[in-house]
Structure 1
């Protein structure tokens, strides 16, 4: 049997970009044959799905030292309500995925721990996808837990360097709206504010962008902490 250390790379598009780093979950499994790029694997226990759509393995590598294969796959979840992102990650965790990456075992950089206040229980399991869709751009009717979720999503994107101009605008305006390209229709006042916030980020120097990212990642909740606190 061949052991495979396997990463699932999640991108929630939007607000994330499909061209940049994603949020990683990990699990190990065994195959009776050596995998290769393009091999598709399926288990009902991994996601609770009946149809064997399969995860297509990419970047397959044999680790001589650990005597196992490394591989990853990408899943892009499109047009998903931002408020539901932690619940979707939680669903994967409930099916046996762990937050993190096989790459964590190879890092030579010592990560400094951050002392955090005790994270409150997040009673958001009963949130409905249809209801939460409106919260992306409408601040009315948002429950009190929404702000914590919003900040965790922004911090996740900043930490991954994924679509930071949009993450910056989300934090500054408190909403997420699609902004049409220049010349493709008039903008609403809300779209104008969001576009201006994006441009403000783009006007920052590289050092200022790094400072903003470090401040956001250090101040707001980690997605892993939020997922763990969901009830």
Structure 2
């Protein structure tokens, strides 16, 4: 049933693209890049379900196994992110916020099990002002050694804190993040391949997955749409 729907979607998408090109440029033709776009739903299903095999069509051979065995790149398949740590000498102040904004900081690091350090009013003000900017995307939680523990979208985090009057300082000091929804605690090592990423995303039902280095430190986010698009393009450009 699923395979039938995917085959139908492939021809439907390819037909629409070909028809649009004919109306705009005149004449009917099929280009390799269009096949990549039309094949995307089928490829994603094959990869996530583990049904990897060699397919061929339109004069192009598609080697799924080889494509997903390659390592991923944060630069190509996601975003390399270096979170900013709140200044130790301004934990209750707000002087660093303009610098965060000027440098377009994408994420903030909050450390768990650190007592008598964070100030609730200051934290809420940081979040209030930074979440007004689209470049500020994530809050990253780390342990006392700096290793990744969890991640949450900054706007969702701030909205939950306000809506439910959550005590963020108590949560951080006790390392109890259970009151938060949409928290991502899974991660993938930077030396993993594309198949491992796709399998973990499918298992966790995630479209974004945190990436950690060999020491367990957060290095960025890999995105499902960028990864699958890259795989499809690899498949259709490898002629045998």
TM range (shorter): under 0.3
Larger Rg computed on CA atoms: 2
